[in-house]
Amino acid sequence: MTRDLTCPRCRTPSVLAVLRRPHTWTNASRNQVRGVGEVLLCARCDAGDPLVTYLVVHESVQPEDAAHLARLLLHWIDGTRPRKPDETALKAEAEAWYRGEL
């Protein structure tokens, strides 16, 4: 597990790995906003992922498993994308804030 991190999906301390991916988007003022999105691998929520199976079964990585683990990691990384802000929801929330509803 990773430093007793709590999974935001299931609220259990079952995080096995954290991937931090830089990303950017352009805001309404046409300025580029930079950020870092985190993607968590949770033993409970992602139980069907072969990487979870490997990490749960093996206490440590053995040299002979390095190539296999690398393939599992690359497959997981390729499938992850930080969520982009929902511009419509963000605009609605800003308008509600301006109206004093928040």
Reported as a single tens digit per residue, the pLDDT across 74-88 is: 999 988 876 677 889
Cα–Cα distance for residue pair 73/49, rounded to 1 Å: 11
Report helix, strand or coil for 17. Answer: strand
Intra-chain end-to-end CA distance of the chain, in Å: 37
84-100 pLDDT tens trace: 778 899 999 999 999 99
pLDDT the model gives residue 83: 65
Q: Has residue 45 been placed in a domain? A: yes
pTM: 0.65
Question: Containing domain of residue 22, as a range?
Answer: 15-98
- Report yes or no on 92 lying in a domain: yes
Question: Does the residue 40 lie in any domain?
Answer: yes
Q: Does residue 61 fall inside a structural domain?
A: yes
| Encoded amino acid at 38, one letter | E
Domain tally, the chain: 1
2 domain-assigned: no
1-44 per-position pLDDT tens digit:
556 789 999 999 999 999 998 888 899 899 999 998 889 999 99
Q: What percent of the chain has pLDDT above 70?
A: 95
